[in-house]
Structure 1
Amino acid sequence: MKNLKQPYIYLLIIHVVIGLLVFVVPFISKIYTLSIFVFGLLYVIKNKNRNNEVLIMSAYVITAEVLLRMTNGAILNEFGKYAVMIFMFTGIVYSGFSNRAFIYWIFFILLIPSVILSVFSLNIDTDIRKAIVFNISGPVCLGISAIYCYERKITFERLKSVVTALALPLVSIVVYLFLYSPSVKDVVRGTDSNFATSGGFGPNQVSTILGLGIFVFFAQMLLNSKNKFLLMVNGFLVLVFAFRGIVTFSRGGVMTGVLMIILLLIVLYNQGNSKARSKVGFIIILTFVAGIGVWGYSSIQTSGLINKRYANQDALGRDKKSKLSGREVLIASEFQMFLDNPILGVGVGRNKEIREEETGIEAASHNEITRMMAEHGTLGIIDLMILLFTPLLLFVNNRQNIFALSFLAFWLLTINHAAMRLAAPAFIYALALLSVQINIPEKPENSLD
């Protein structure tokens, strides 16, 4: 993986084969899980993280995570987050971190009071460790990743290699999805999120990672295609991921991917010269036409049901009462918990218990923002402000990280509809904190000064 650009096509083919193998022989998925972690750790240790190898391996893990979980290969349910945390901690040991990352230490400190509160407030019959870990592992993964990435210098070429590492497992996922449900027409019967088109796994999470795939291969097509052949391959993959994302019938991931692309194009347009702007304009028109084509094909394959899904209608064309698939109830209950416990919140993991006691609804939060408010109170709001404004301030001072706004948007939109079930929003958020050097920097990569 020292240079992911040259063997790109071969790596894509290898991951096509991986997708085939885990479908035919599911046990291979467990071997794949162990191989990723062991190879990744050895890769980082052997190179002593001189060139931010932890970013390459963490990027690979977060997109492989969905495939591992949908094929029961993830030995631990939180494998993705644990692997990223271990990689990042190893990177910190070898390469240190910026003294200016103290803001994320404050983020960590503000999480502690509600964790302590939960130890005393959770029900006796609740597995306290699991309840806390389930809700806090995402923020902890984000915090460690943020501390590592904060103002860490990295060349734009290396950042493109990180994007390529994100891309590879995505190919295995889409191959698996086509094998799992080769005919979309045969498995789509209504307008609810579809498990059959999502590989039997949660449509919300599959849509999230496919939406990221739309953006990743669009970025590959736009910025990392050295010739017409690679341009066509990456362009084709954008269309494939758009189609498979749409037919999950889970809207959040697809809309997030589209917004990420829009933000990238806006940044490129604003930072480019007149010639570059004309090219961006042409790309926008081409993307719009391609988008209409993919949507039309998806509509045909779903017998028009996808149109009704995005219009928030059922299969008979009647408007659904809920515009957020029932999430309004969860959001309202968590907001009320915040109003009742505005300082420290109800404690980590406690909001699920309270909701079940008061409403009879047994469901974990889908919205990380209201979960943080309910479980951490005002301290949670402060943490959210830290997470939102820090990367924006960094982008104002260093606009060479052209992906920063797109990465931030992925985190913000994903935690609004899928909380932090996956490691992806935590790691992608951290990438927005990198100090990217498009021109050759005077100081070596991995510098923190």
Structure 2
Amino acid sequence: MDKKSSTYLLYVVLHILLGVGVYFFTPISKVYGILIFLFGIYFVVKNKNANNEVLMVAAYIVGSEVFLRMTDGNPNYEFTKYSVIVFVLMGMFYSGFSKNAIPYWLFLVLLIPGLLIGVQSLDIHRLNIRNLIAFNMSGPICLGLTSIYCFNRRIQFSQINKLLMYMLLPIISTTAYLILYTPDLREVVTGTGSNMDTSGGFGPNQVSTILGLGVFILFTRIVFLSKNKLILLLNIFLIVNVAYRGLITFSRGGMITGGVLILVLIVFIYLNINKTGKYKLSLMLFFVVFGLLFTWFYTEQQTGGLIGKRYANKDAVGRKKESSFSGREVIAEHEIESFIKNPIFGIGVAKGTEERMEIFGETIASHNEITRMLGEHGLFGLFGLLILFVTPFVLYLNNKKYLYLFCFVAFWLLTINHAAMRTASPAFIYALSLLKVKLDEA
């Protein structure tokens, strides 16, 4: 076994043990969360970001976000987004940024009017304005700054795979924790709604999102980095377990997103390899597809057929549900109405949450970043979204060998449509699509 494979195996084992350790002694999570940040600072300062250490550390932090949230390891709920911002600013200090990243400076400027309106119009007596503003703005600001740092930054394809590995490792810890946390499915799975009992006692939507991303990363490792049978079998074992844990959250968005990313990557690879490569890829896909199909049918058996009904949008007795989006379309409709009534500046950041509190009597945050940007930022939000949509494809014209570009954009787009920017992952993954990737020499 070569050194890279043995190192990967060691990292996987250590992170499985981390998940087990946190389950039995939760305070470890708080120490772990602080150590990630402190070691990251040391790592970047020591190396002065000579080999994109900033991206490696940020990737690891992004991968750990949901694990830390579900185990109360974060000093602050938005700790991951703030940390990513700190590290990309360090990266700019050591390595600068492209002068051509003007679109993302403009994106940040376009956020200001909605922010000012929100601060001035929110009811300070009813709401915690600071937390609401942070909840809604930390994601876009993280995306903007990380995009400025990544814009046309040169990086080797092997480094992209390395940072994806760092992102994967805490997801493996999450999976190990979930295996121990989840009770007998027959006791907790009684319907087809998202299930907190199978999601570590945390939000199923966020857990599904990060596990779906983990499935995709493991697929890339199976295709590109399984150099021997042991590592191949390990990665297949991991992808089956991560996919199973993602499915039984009963939150569809993250798992569907993971599946779409895999399909996008397969199509891109097939269009860019010769017949011999296609044969080898097809052989690899056979084992992966077999493993994932086994996972699906096993999940069906374990849930008494409820997982199939969930993905068919049916209730426990097989009746078609009225809503295909768990009621999220009501929130989206409200945000679109806000845009129509206030098309120029929007209603202001977090004002939508306040209005829904008045209408529905409870705090309901947006699940769709696109409609939120329109409703709360108006035409400024629309122009900001256009920048985000168009720029990666313009860069692709001179970056056509970047295998993951479309996958990363797809992850961002699909995730912000079902989970908004609750986690740092869509912001960070989107920014990775802007890197200028050079294929490693054979």
TM-score (normalised: structure 2): 0.97
Q: Is the 8 A contact 1:153 1:437 kept in 2?
A: yes
- 2:354 match: 353
Shift of 1:184: 2.7
Amino acid at match of 2:278: R
- Larger deviation: 395-404 or 259-268? 395-404
Amino acid at match of 1:327: R
Shift of 1:284: 4.0
Q: Residues 130-180 of structure 1: CA distance to partner in whole angstroms, max 9, x if unpaired?
A: 221110000000111101111100011111111110111111000000000
Residues 4 and 83 of structure 1: CA distance in aligned 2, closer, same or farther (over 3 Å): farther
Alignment of structure 1 residues 241-320 onto 2, 5 Å: 241-320=242-321
Shift of 1:399: 1.8
Amino acid at match of 1:154: I
CA distance in 1, matches of 2:286, 2:176: 29
Q: Residues 22-79 of structure 1: CA distance to partner in whole angstroms, max 9, x if unpaired?
A: 1111111000011000000100010000000011111100111111000011110001
Shift of 1:294: 1.3
- 2:171 match: 170
Q: Is the 8 A contact 2:336 2:371 kept in 1?
A: yes
Other structure's SS at 2:315 match = coil
CA distance in 2, matches of 1:181, 1:21: 16
Shift of 1:435: 0.6
- 1:445 match: none
Say yes or no: does 1:362 pair with 2:390. no
- 2:70 match: 70
Q: Is the 8 A contact 1:64 1:169 kept in 2?
A: yes
Say yes or no: does 1:48 pair with 2:48. yes
CA distance in 2, matches of 1:140, 1:344: 18
- Larger deviation: 364-373 or 120-129? 120-129
Alignment of structure 1 residues 392-403 onto 2, 5 Å: 392-403=393-404
Shift of 1:356: 2.3
Amino acid at match of 2:207: V
CA distance in 2, matches of 1:279, 1:440: 20
Other structure's SS at 1:99 match = coil
CA distance in 2, matches of 1:404, 1:5: 26
Say yes or no: does 1:227 pair with 2:228. yes
Shift of 1:129: 2.0
- 2:140 match: 139
CA distance in 2, matches of 1:182, 1:4: 36
Q: Is the 8 A contact 1:4 1:164 kept in 2?
A: no
Q: Is the 8 A contact 2:223 2:281 kept in 1?
A: no
Q: Is the 8 A contact 1:211 1:256 kept in 2?
A: yes
- 1:446 match: none
Aligned-residue CA RMSD in angstroms?
1.5
- 2:340 match: 339
Shift of 1:397: 1.9
CA distance in 2, matches of 1:287, 1:164: 18
CA distance in 1, matches of 2:24, 2:397: 49
Amino acid at match of 2:111: L
Other structure's SS at 1:50 match = coil
- 1:85 match: 85
Other structure's SS at 1:196 match = coil
Identity rate, percent: 48
Alignment of structure 1 residues 424-439 onto 2, 5 Å: 424-439=425-440
CA distance in 2, matches of 1:158, 1:255: 27
Amino acid at match of 1:330: I
Shift of 1:320: 1.1
Shift of 1:286: 4.0
CA distance in 1, matches of 2:4, 2:63: 16
- 1:159 match: 160
Q: Residues 291-334 of structure 1: CA distance to partner in whole angstroms, max 9, x if unpaired?
A: 32211000001011111111111111111111100101101101
Other structure's SS at 1:436 match = strand
Shift of 1:357: 2.1
Q: Residues 194-223 of structure 1: CA distance to partner in whole angstroms, max 9, x if unpaired?
A: 111100000000000000010011111111
- 2:100 match: 100
CA distance in 2, matches of 1:284, 1:230: 16
- 1:412 match: 413
Shift of 1:289: 3.2
Q: Residues 232-284 of structure 1: CA distance to partner in whole angstroms, max 9, x if unpaired?
A: 11111111111111111000000000000011111111111121123333444
Amino acid at match of 2:159: R
Amino acid at match of 2:407: S
CA distance in 2, matches of 1:16, 1:281: 30
Alignment of structure 1 residues 180-219 onto 2, 5 Å: 180-181=181-182, 183-219=184-220
- 2:39 match: 39
- Larger deviation: 343-352 or 275-284? 275-284
Stretches (4+) displaced over 4 A: 3-6
Amino acid at match of 1:319: K
- 1:57 match: 57
- Larger deviation: 22-31 or 174-183? 174-183
Amino acid at match of 2:331: L
Amino acid at match of 2:321: K
CA distance in 1, matches of 2:397, 2:229: 34
Shift of 1:361: 4.9
Amino acid at match of 2:188: V
CA distance in 2, matches of 1:291, 1:21: 28
CA distance in 2, matches of 1:228, 1:392: 37
Shift of 1:359: 4.2
Other structure's SS at 1:100 match = coil
Q: Is the 8 A contact 1:5 1:161 kept in 2?
A: no
CA distance in 1, matches of 2:438, 2:353: 44
CA distance in 2, matches of 1:341, 1:134: 22
Amino acid at match of 1:332: E
TM-score (normalised: structure 1): 0.95
Amino acid at match of 1:49: N
- 1:238 match: 239
Other structure's SS at 1:318 match = coil
Amino acid at match of 1:242: A
Shift of 1:227: 1.1
Amino acid at match of 2:96: G
Q: Which runs of 5+ in 2 are unaligned?
A: none
Q: Is the 8 A contact 1:49 1:95 kept in 2?
A: yes
Other structure's SS at 1:147 match = helix
Other structure's SS at 1:154 match = strand
CA distance in 1, matches of 2:368, 2:408: 18
Shift of 1:182: 5.0
CA distance in 1, matches of 2:185, 2:390: 41
Q: Which runs of 5+ in 1 are unaligned?
A: 442-449
